[in-house]
A = this chain, B = another copy of it.
């Protein structure tokens, strides 16, 4: 409890109760009630954000809130689910004042409106350590429409939405790197690190198209490896097909090894999926309709493991096997 200011109950009443939906029972009951539509299953995921690991002490609190929420929404998108609700826990040191909490809650409020979800429960505590936050997100998916990681088949094409590696470059920019890039490119990269775009609409349109899917959080090659492990397949990714933003291409101009490295870095929260070759037309139409690039980057194969190859089909060595926060 902060010794001055609103205190725990005051903060809940002032900042969090206004975010509560009907299932949250005003955040005053012991637990929340969640309706489940007939013929549907609920989809549940949880992620945490720890100060100094996932974000820095002076990061804008509204963006800390949004990124944590969006990482969870990306997990729901990767299952083909529609987001409904979330629960929040906060553990805050005494020196985080009401203004920090107010800005944090304002970020949540904006994203609730953006994604059509509401807060239904949570828990707050103090800590003598770093700020520690978790969000549990709940979505729904029609029975049998969920897209798991284990359905890829040899011969499927591998697709990824958006562009890859921008979040990693954005973190470098925030640390003072890539000073030679234009201001708008630097800003675009930083934004991709701080404010991922969960591909919810794309995810919801992919049942009956994608055989297997996950989001790019550990790094494209590592995440594709998870699909391969779960599906009992291998995969080859063509490095020249990797979708890079114009800023990333410019950064790669001085650093020819960069594209291969970007295939190993995480935090992009794009959707990565396997689909049969005859789905390519439907995927192309979906990309046009959503105004979102969806790029074929490789092929699922018999065997195991993920290979990155160059334009000539020659294997490109990869140093890191996936991104870690720590």
Contacts and interface: CB of A to CB of B under 8 A. Distances in A.
Interface of A: 1, 8, 25-26, 28-36, 38, 40-48, 50-54, 74-76, 78-79, 81, 87-89, 91, 120-123, 125-130, 132, 134, 136-139, 141, 146, 148-150, 214-215, 226, 229-230, 324-326
A209 B91 CA distance: 37
Contacts of A138: 44
A268 to B, nearest CB: 14
Given A53-B127, A127-B130, A32 B36 contact: no
B46 A122 contact: yes
Nearest to A39: B38
B28 A45 contact: no
A32 to B, nearest CB: 5
23 contacts: A25-B148, A28-B230, A29-B79, A29-B148, A30-B74, A30-B75, A31-B76, A31-B81, A32-B44, A33-B42, A33-B79, A33-B146, A34-B42, A35-B41, A44-B136, A46-B122, A50-B126, A51-B129, A53-B127, A89-B134, A128-B130, A129-B130, A129-B132
A123 B29 contact: no
A242 to B, nearest CB: 22
A30 B126 contact: no
Which of A45, A74, A88: most chain B CB closer than 10 A? A45
Contact of A123 (B47, B120, B123, B141): B47
A244 B134 CA distance: 37
A44 B31 contact: yes
A43 B48 contact: no
A32 B45 contact: yes
A79 to B, nearest CB: 5
A26 to B, nearest CB: 8
B91 A125 contact: no
A311 to B, nearest CB: 32
Given A29-B149, A79-B31, A148-B29, A46 B129 contact: no
Nearest to A51: B129
Contacts of A30: 45, 74-76, 78-79, 149, 214-215
Contacts of A46: 87-89, 121-123, 134, 136
Contacts of A87: 44-46, 136
